[in-house]
Structure 1
Amino acid sequence: MLSNRRFQNIILNKYVITGLLCFSLALLSLLLFIIQGDGFFIVRDDFNEQQIPFTIGLHQSILDSGLSGFSWCVDLGTSTLQAFSFYELGSPFFWLSMLFPAHLFPYFVAWIYIIKYTVAGIFAFAFLKRFIIDEKWAILGAVLYAFSGFSTVNLMYYHFHDVIALFPLLLIGLEILIEKKDCRLFIFSVFLNAFLNYFFFIGETIFLIVYYLFRFSRKDLKAMAGEIARCLTSAIVGVGMSAILFIPSILYIMQNTRSKSDFSTEGLFNNLRYILFNLKGLILPAESMPDMSAIFPSKFYSTAAYLPMIGLVLVMAYIIKNRDWLSRLLIFCLIGAFWPLIGNAFFLYMDVQNRWWHAFVLIMALASCKVLEDLSSYKKPIKIGIVINALLIVFLFIMVCYIFKDPEGASTLYAPKRFIIYTAVSLIGISITNIVINAFNGNYKLFIGCISAFAVATTSLTLYVYRANGTNVASYKEIYDLATQIQLPDDQYRINNASNVVSMVSNSSGFSLFTSTDSVGITTFETLFDYKDAVNGLNKNTYPGLAELLGGRYYLATEPTGNNIVATYSSNGITYFMEETEACPIGFKVDNYITENQLKDIPVENRAIALMQAAVVSNSDSSALEYIEQAQDLDLETSVSELVARAQANSVSNFYKDGKGFVCTSNFKEDSVVYFSVPYDSGWYATIDSKHADIIESGGMMLLKIPAGNHDIEFNYVTPGYKLGLLISLICFLIFITICIVSKKRHPSSH
């Protein structure tokens, strides 16, 4: 057993204090909403329709096939790694959730959220204390960081909090590398963040470069060159350790048209509306993205950096008094917050939506801590900071309420009462800041108590708005509980339902379409119908015959419609019927082909009917289809029912699919070509009777030439780049272990 003194030392350890404080504040912020849902926690929109089903879908996909397999529950089917590496595949918090049954995720997601807040606070403290003499102020700074507006506005984006939690490690690792020439933590932190989220890692890398230049630039260029070389080689090892996810992810986004953004003039010169919007994010508590009170009615940007209670007061005070690296970095970030030529550079001028602001928040928290630690030197700058912050709030209020209009001349004040509340909270916050500093001489306990209260209040307020305007726990839970019961009767068909919840929670093949990370084959297929969207897939019921072509045989109804009922389910006292209708099997023989140019000449509303009669191929592939003829005159008046019956008569048999691919058998009287409505990418490998067979891409789907007679067909899937990434990761881990062994002898006390 622990001695009393040792136990007291643990309790008084400032890491423990920081963790317990952040845990408690997060619990207080979320507790009411956990209770309201009887433990079932949801937020709104993306959290409900992506974060929850994605986590469950990933969980089940990992159990099916590991990292490199194929997830049938993501739209028409997508590589597990490609679909989920932007979300949670590399997150330690996701792997923690794997300890529990997948379907229970909504019951413990709030507790993992609380853990994320706790970890964010602990790592922020570890960074801040390096610059603070009295570490108690670093605890306060950790609260500012963990509960900033950036964390609050992103409550809808569950996996963004993974990035918030682990980012401070990068800066700590860099500090130790420069100070002690010990690269161990830096390598590991680079690995952890690159493995966690490749998109955010790009922005963090650029911020790290900016941080180094402001923090460590000096006239000794030779010494700087050595440091940069050490940082670069360490970073290469760290990224290499993450290669098992990083390389396949980069290969994927290079092909995915949904992930690309154009460099526009708006990225160079923001208009007044965006300037006011960004200003609001800095000086007012964060709002609900889908339901904002002012400037934009909704905006899915992470534009929030409000520090609980103190706002920009202490940041302004630090800038006013100091001319050091930190003040220059703060000024640079402030300029970048309003000038996209700098701000968007953090993500190479993609549509970044201010998602680098978590790094800005940490630097703001550092400046605020340093001011509080030395209050006597900052009395006058703080007074000026309070005046500046108050004037900015008043300016924003007047602009929004009385002056600024949208381009059509309409008011940009959408929820006046809520805007007044947020404005009042901000004004009250700087008033209390002024009182605590001047009347109570910056009393630490009073300061951290007030900031903690504001952290809970602002987090709870925004979460309340998220939930109050668009979330019904009972109705969501009804669909969720229904999805946990669904099991499709036949692997050859899909469920005709566009909901992520239905497909991913049930782990069923379907038409889920609310994802920007589905297969490149799917986006290629959608271009056949002149469709392109950065987030949502094509609704498969848009055109006659499309759902039938793609195997959408099963659908859900609350009343029988006269079709064959294959299953009944009960959820929330309501009976649901799974019925089946006509649909082509996933694999069926085709007799003709047409080129992409020919298909595009057909009216878009008739193209699915055309594809049920002839497979589409590129002009370069058409010469390889000696088994079938090019279609001359397609009958676009043929009924869908007739075409479905023809496809079913020419179906492959014994079709079975899992996370590693699919198998089937054929018994055609003549050499044939089979169309598989499965998204194509280079990770597929096909065999016929265990012998390699060439796959032909067909407008994002797949064709296979099959000889006459009985044959066993097998398609196996491994994510492109996975094997190379695995090899690089293993090599780099060995290098890292070697570095750790050598460094332990050189730096026995480094931590």
Structure 2
Amino acid sequence: MQSEQTQIHTQPARRKLPGWLLAFGIALLAAGIMFLPFIIYEKGNFFFFGDFNVQQIPFYRMAHDAVRSGEVLWNSYTDLGANFIASYSFYLLFSPFFWLTLPFPSEMVPYLMAPLLMLKTASMALTSYFYIRRFVRTDEYAIIGSLCYAFSGFATYNIFFNHFHEAMVFFPLLLIGVEELVQNRRRGVFALAVAVNCIVNYWFFIGEVVFVVLYVFLRMTDRSWGMTVKRFCAVALESVLGLCLAMVVLLPSVLAIMGNPRTTSDNLLYGWNFWIYSTVQRIPQILQTLFFPPELPSRPNFFPDGGAKWSSLSAWLPLFGVSGTAAFLLAARRSWLKKLLFTCLFMALVPGLNSAFILFNNSYYARWFYMPVLLMCLATATALERRDIDYVRGVRWYAGGVLLFMVACGLTPSKTSEGEWKLGLMEEPIRFWLVCLIAVCCVALTLWIVRQLRRNPAFVRTAIALTAAVGCLHGMFFIGSGRLYGTSGSFLRERALAGYDSIAFPGEDEDEFFRLDLYNTLDNLGMYWHVPNIQAFHSIVPNSIMEFYPYVGVKRDVSSKPEVNNYALRPLLSVKYLAVSQSEKDAENLMPGYTFSFSQFGYDFYENENYLPMGFGYTTGVRQSVLDTAPLSLRANVMLEAVGLSEEAMERNADILTELESIDYASLNASGMEEAVEERRQYTCDTFAFDKTGFTATCDLDEDVLMFFSVPYDSGWSATVNGEPVVIEKASVGFMAVRVPAGEAEIRFEYMTPGLIPGAFVSAGGLVLLGVYLLVMRRQDRRAAAADPVPASFRSLREHREESIQSAQTVLTPESPAPALEQPEPETPDGKEEQDHETE
């Protein structure tokens, strides 16, 4: 083996392009070919299905316009209103790919979705290349591994959630940073990698922290890595410094999700659910994803009752599948990589350990799989490169797994829900057998190139080309399958995208604020149209929204969709129009008090006769304890008659409010709602408008009132009335109200993102500390250099790089190889020719 390495290192480099550029370019070209047919078909756009259509596209455009206009604190187009930074830091706000859209005009943003996906795919290949290249001897095998990562089943699956790709792009930098710090003593790289990953997506960063801890402790089992107590302390210190650098984003994000029902202790795994999956299909479903391409997120087919919809469950590698990983694991005896891969598999099969990557939440997600997938790509590249590894054994395991699941899922007799016999356990036989065909072709191609070409000079080029081709063609199949279930492109182009800021509401003051209601249509259509509305599909909104909706009988998990039977909710939330598709029948009778107004973009718009403008006053209040006694479906009716307040708030405002001590249920009907609306109209604001830092309202009233605004309550708000600070009351469970005196009044609400300023100070402090740390370490290096005539820091880059590769190769070599693995390959002329080609 040593003679081979010496021979490779002394070969003159004849390739013009560096390996990292080839990895990036090949991935970009393959991704471009993958997306191009769909771009052409959709006339420049790229549409998929599900969350991609209803979240990624409207989020990108809305956020793009918000940032360009400077409205980055509060966003009135997200549900009933939201903390913009905290709500979008998870989705896109701090992604460099999103910021690439800012130079373009708003109407161009939807056309940029596919180019950005291509760029993300190429960037995945780039960063993973740099990591894998540390452990293989030639660029070509690092390119193969990087293409496996960029076109992995996890990456393809998560086109559906394209903001997950950012985590895949930047995660390899964490591992590179650790390696550089421990092995090469390059300081600061890991701290910056920690900061970047945390800033880009704080939620994925939680799982990455867990993984990096595992990585460090299992990597330490290899003594040649060079971990010492001093370097371990450096890793810990740089972790803290990186976290401090990211605090300007992390602190506001964490404060915003604290109290969110999806993050509370009620959603933690416990009991037997910590150790055993509740569905018997889950474990075989996890194993199946190693052998077969990913299934559509909303339509699992092999195991339809596995309970893993939208979970990002996929660990398949294009072309090679699990063969390279199996071949490496069978050959390596005590490698740190083997230990880490088996640890990841064990954690994936135990619910509680799997959930460690999402703070032990009881929802099933496999959204951390991209981390072991990167290691599988490394194992595959290593197994292909090393001739002392019997790769065919890995192919046999690959073929055996494919055959097992094909027989079990495809040929087992079962019964339909109607009691009829059928062959197979899958939901959709055609799609099942097409996926099986892809897997079988991959097994055959892998076996062919390993057996027929592995000692041929054309092997690496063929492997690279086939990996890119399989990734590209499978991507086309996957996207095409998803489009079968997605909203039609013509609807998205001609109704959704075309309506952005284009709906002409007749006779309206352009400065008037009101909300739109949409019935039984595309999720987030109101955001597509850039109109404030009450129908929203968004996971991260103010906790007050999550508290209010269930209180009035509306389910609120990942979306807000009030049913039409809760008609009193609409005046409370200042809904002026109801949009109903022209294909709907009997639309005028959906809710009482709506009359037809106009038609546009294929929708009929009905005006709410009981509309209340934003900002209306109360002279009657009801204590929360009394409001709690009303049925859920009637609480909005009560809230129209009297503002709901806590005991303390009721006492503070007892001088201007008449207390509603009991509820008259006879008045809680449509006519009662109309009477309550008429009363509220006596105390409405004359003007109301949002701006970059909050909103302003004016009024001229005959008596003191508690002025109510259906803007979600948030700790970042402060208020003044006629320039004097006032107390903001949490009103009607989730909103805000302030005392307003009789006469002319100007009401001003200012918003500042909670945690943003303290987080900025911590980040600034972290930057100073990082600079001090680097200066101190530099001085120590200089002192060490004075005692070393040829210190490592002054060696040539080539010598240093060769030493690093030699160390990495030693790390992956089994400590106790089988006799066959100990024998170096004979240096035949053919072998020399092959090595020369690989160097090229």
Q: State whether residues 652 and 665 of structure 1, in contact with CA within 8 Å, keep that contact through their aligned partners in structure 2.
A: yes
Q: State whether residues 585 and 647 of structure 1, in contact with CA within 8 Å, keep that contact through their aligned partners in structure 2.
A: no
Aligned mates of 1:96, 1:744 — CA distance in 2: 35
Q: For residue 417 of structure 1, report the CA deviation from its aligned partner.
A: 1.7
Give the counterpart letter for 2:633 in structure 1: E
Tell me the SS of whatever aligns to 2:738.
strand
In the other structure, the counterpart of 1:263 is 269
Identity %: 26
Give the RMSD, CA atoms, in angstroms.
Answer: 2.7
In the other structure, the counterpart of 1:521 is 544
Pair 1:588 & 2:616 matched: yes
In the other structure, the counterpart of 1:725 is 759
Tell me the SS of whatever aligns to 1:43.
coil
Aligned mates of 2:721, 2:263 — CA distance in 1: 35
Most deviating of 107-116 and 411-420: 411-420
In the other structure, the counterpart of 1:284 is 292
Q: For residue 738 of structure 1, report the CA deviation from its aligned partner.
A: 4.8
Q: For residue 74 of structure 1, report the CA deviation from its aligned partner.
A: 0.5
1:243-262 superposed matches below 5 A: 243-260=247-264, 261-262=267-268
Q: State whether residues 596 and 604 of structure 2, in contact with CA within 8 Å, keep that contact through their aligned partners in structure 1.
A: no
In the other structure, the counterpart of 1:615 is 643
Tell me the SS of whatever aligns to 2:578.
strand
Q: For residue 451 of structure 1, report the CA deviation from its aligned partner.
A: 1.4
Aligned mates of 2:228, 2:646 — CA distance in 1: 53
Most deviating of 465-474 and 679-688: 465-474
| Shift in CA distance, 370/219, structure 1 to aligned 2, threshold 3 Å | closer
Alpha-carbon displacement from aligned partner over 1:136-156 (angstroms, at most 9, x marks no partner): 100110000000000011111
In the other structure, the counterpart of 2:811 is none
Q: Which runs of 5+ in 1 are unaligned?
A: 1-7
1:502-521 superposed matches below 5 A: 502-521=525-544
Tell me the SS of whatever aligns to 1:497.
strand
Alpha-carbon displacement from aligned partner over 1:661-681 (angstroms, at most 9, x marks no partner): 111112222221111111001
In the other structure, the counterpart of 1:353 is 365
In the other structure, the counterpart of 2:325 is 315
Query: Radius of gyration: which is bigger?
Result: 2
Q: State whether residues 149 and 317 of structure 2, in contact with CA within 8 Å, keep that contact through their aligned partners in structure 1.
A: yes
Q: For residue 649 of structure 1, report the CA deviation from its aligned partner.
A: 2.3
Pair 1:644 & 2:677 matched: yes
Q: For residue 591 of structure 1, report the CA deviation from its aligned partner.
A: 1.7
Aligned mates of 1:407, 1:325 — CA distance in 2: 47
Q: State whether residues 54 and 525 of structure 2, in contact with CA within 8 Å, keep that contact through their aligned partners in structure 1.
A: no
Aligned mates of 2:559, 2:180 — CA distance in 1: 44
Q: Which runs of 5+ in 2 are unaligned?
A: 1-12, 782-792, 802-840
Give the counterpart letter for 2:637 in structure 1: I
Q: For residue 579 of structure 1, report the CA deviation from its aligned partner.
A: 4.4
Give the counterpart letter for 2:502 in structure 1: Q
Q: For residue 355 of structure 1, report the CA deviation from its aligned partner.
A: 0.5
Match of 2:35 among 27, 30, 33: 30
Pair 1:680 & 2:688 matched: no
Q: State whether residues 220 and 227 of structure 2, in contact with CA within 8 Å, keep that contact through their aligned partners in structure 1.
A: no
In the other structure, the counterpart of 1:537 is 560
In the other structure, the counterpart of 1:5 is none
Give the counterpart letter for 1:89 in structure 2: L
Q: For residue 296 of structure 1, report the CA deviation from its aligned partner.
A: 1.5
How many equivalent pairs are there?
Answer: 737
State the TM-score, normalizing by the size of structure 2. 0.83
In the other structure, the counterpart of 2:410 is 401
Match of 2:282 among 271, 274, 291: 274
Q: State whether residues 686 and 714 of structure 1, in contact with CA within 8 Å, keep that contact through their aligned partners in structure 2.
A: yes
Aligned mates of 1:470, 1:221 — CA distance in 2: 49
Q: For residue 580 of structure 1, report the CA deviation from its aligned partner.
A: 5.3
In the other structure, the counterpart of 2:51 is 46
Aligned mates of 1:644, 1:162 — CA distance in 2: 48
Alpha-carbon displacement from aligned partner over 1:433-456 (angstroms, at most 9, x marks no partner): 111111112511111121111111
Most deviating of 236-245 and 299-308: 236-245
Aligned mates of 1:222, 1:168 — CA distance in 2: 20
Pair 1:700 & 2:734 matched: yes
| Shift in CA distance, 530/207, structure 1 to aligned 2, threshold 3 Å | same
Aligned mates of 2:475, 2:401 — CA distance in 1: 22
Q: For residue 533 of structure 1, report the CA deviation from its aligned partner.
A: 3.6
Pair 1:378 & 2:389 matched: yes
| Shift in CA distance, 704/79, structure 1 to aligned 2, threshold 3 Å | same
In the other structure, the counterpart of 2:625 is 597
Most deviating of 174-183 and 485-494: 485-494
In the other structure, the counterpart of 2:652 is 624
In the other structure, the counterpart of 1:3 is none
Give the counterpart letter for 2:401 in structure 1: L
In the other structure, the counterpart of 1:471 is 487
1:322-341 superposed matches below 5 A: 322=332, 323-341=334-352
In the other structure, the counterpart of 1:4 is none
Alpha-carbon displacement from aligned partner over 1:404-427 (angstroms, at most 9, x marks no partner): 879989964111121111112112
Q: For residue 314 of structure 1, report the CA deviation from its aligned partner.
A: 1.1
Aligned mates of 2:471, 2:777 — CA distance in 1: 40
Q: For residue 86 of structure 1, report the CA deviation from its aligned partner.
A: 0.9
Aligned mates of 1:200, 1:56 — CA distance in 2: 23
In the other structure, the counterpart of 1:483 is 500
Q: State whether residues 579 and 604 of structure 2, in contact with CA within 8 Å, keep that contact through their aligned partners in structure 1.
A: yes
In the other structure, the counterpart of 2:787 is none
Aligned mates of 2:135, 2:556 — CA distance in 1: 46
Tell me the SS of whatever aligns to 2:162.
coil
Give the counterpart letter for 2:646 in structure 1: S
Aligned mates of 2:209, 2:704 — CA distance in 1: 54
Match of 1:94 among 95, 98, 113: 98
In the other structure, the counterpart of 1:188 is 192
Tell me the SS of whatever aligns to 1:283.
coil
Give the counterpart letter for 2:545 in structure 1: I
Most deviating of 144-153 and 427-436: 427-436
Q: For residue 599 of structure 1, report the CA deviation from its aligned partner.
A: 1.7
| Shift in CA distance, 406/682, structure 1 to aligned 2, threshold 3 Å | farther
Q: For residue 604 of structure 1, report the CA deviation from its aligned partner.
A: 2.1
Match of 1:457 among 473, 477, 484: 473
Aligned mates of 1:742, 1:10 — CA distance in 2: 41
Give the counterpart letter for 1:476 in structure 2: L
Tell me the SS of whatever aligns to 1:76.
coil
Match of 1:714 among 739, 748, 761: 748
Tell me the SS of whatever aligns to 2:560.
coil
| Shift in CA distance, 392/218, structure 1 to aligned 2, threshold 3 Å | closer
Tell me the SS of whatever aligns to 1:673.
strand
Q: State whether residues 565 and 580 of structure 1, in contact with CA within 8 Å, keep that contact through their aligned partners in structure 2.
A: no
Most deviating of 397-406 and 677-686: 397-406
In the other structure, the counterpart of 1:431 is 444
In the other structure, the counterpart of 2:213 is 209
Give the counterpart letter for 1:266 in structure 2: N
Tell me the SS of whatever aligns to 2:689.
strand
Pair 1:390 & 2:399 matched: yes
Give the counterpart letter for 2:284 in structure 1: L
Q: For residue 328 of structure 1, report the CA deviation from its aligned partner.
A: 0.9
Aligned mates of 1:140, 1:119 — CA distance in 2: 15
Tell me the SS of whatever aligns to 2:300.
coil
Q: State whether residues 515 and 534 of structure 2, in contact with CA within 8 Å, keep that contact through their aligned partners in structure 1.
A: yes
Q: State whether residues 61 and 659 of structure 1, in contact with CA within 8 Å, keep that contact through their aligned partners in structure 2.
A: no
Alpha-carbon displacement from aligned partner over 1:5-58 (angstroms, at most 9, x marks no partner): xxx999511111111100001011111111110111111110011111111221
Tell me the SS of whatever aligns to 1:716.
strand
Q: For residue 180 of structure 1, report the CA deviation from its aligned partner.
A: 2.4
Pair 1:344 & 2:387 matched: no
| Shift in CA distance, 495/441, structure 1 to aligned 2, threshold 3 Å | same
Tell me the SS of whatever aligns to 1:584.
coil
| Shift in CA distance, 578/15, structure 1 to aligned 2, threshold 3 Å | farther
| Shift in CA distance, 91/352, structure 1 to aligned 2, threshold 3 Å | farther
Aligned mates of 1:481, 1:744 — CA distance in 2: 57
Match of 2:634 among 602, 606, 614: 606
Aligned mates of 1:540, 1:57 — CA distance in 2: 26
